[in-house]
Amino acid sequence: AERSAIVSVWGQLHADEVGAHAIARLLIVYPWTQRYFSAFGNISSPAAIMGNPKVAAHGKVVMGALEKGVKNLNNLKGTYAALSTMHSEKLHVDPDNFRLLAHCISTTIAMKLGHSAFTPEVQEAIEKFLSAVASA
């Protein structure tokens, strides 16, 4: 049931928009994450972040990667093996940040789907999925 909730929610979202919005929130709500994105140009204010095309592009990249996970729910570890190495050895991202981004994605999906569609059960399925991705 959780798997079908995840697939169904994914179908209802405009992935690129959600991605862009979630990354923007990450950079605004948890400003210390900006340290990973010094190459993005102007991220000095919420307005700059929300309008920054590199932020939006990166949101798209992240959502693309999550979509792979949605399509391969049975093998998240395998799906994310390469990305895992990249995040740890090349990008040196502290894994706690995966949790922060997951919060932002969850909040953004809640905003896009609205209150009646984003039920507690849907929230649970999405957060469980994001947590499994973070582990992988």
Partner 1 sequence: MSLTSKDKETVKAFWAKIAPRAEDIGEDALSRMLVVYPQTKTYFSHWKDLSPGSAPVKKHGKVVMGGVAEAVKKIDDLTNGLLSLSELHAFQLRVDPANFKILSHCLLVVLASKFNEEFTPEVHVCMDKFLSAVALALSEKYR
By CB under 8 A, name the binding residues for partner 1.
24-25, 28-29, 46, 49-50, 103, 106-108, 110-115, 118-121, 123-124, 127
Smallest separation, CB 82 to partner 1 (Å): 30
Cβ contact 62:130 at 8 Å: no
Minimum distance of partner 1 from residue 112's CB (angstroms):
8
Nearer to partner 1, 26 or 66 (CB): 26
Minimum CB distance to partner 1 smaller for 70 or for 102: 102
- Judged by beta carbon, residue 110 or residue 134, the one nearer partner 1 is 110
How far apart are CB 90 and partner 1 at their closest, in Å?
A: 28
84: its two tokens: 């895992």
> Cα(98)–Cα(101) distance, rounded to whole angstroms?
5
Q: Alpha helices, DSSP H only, in 13-119?
A: 15-29, 46-51, 53-71, 76-79, 81-85, 96-117
CB of 113 to partner 1, least distance (A): 7
Q: Which of 52, 38, 53, 50 is nearest to 108 (CA)?
A: 50
Closer by beta carbon to partner 1, 79 or else 108? 108
User: How far are the Cα atoms of 1, 94, 116 from residue 98, in angstroms, in the given order?
Assistant: 25, 8, 27
Q: How many CA atoms lie within 13 A of 39 on its CB side?
A: 4
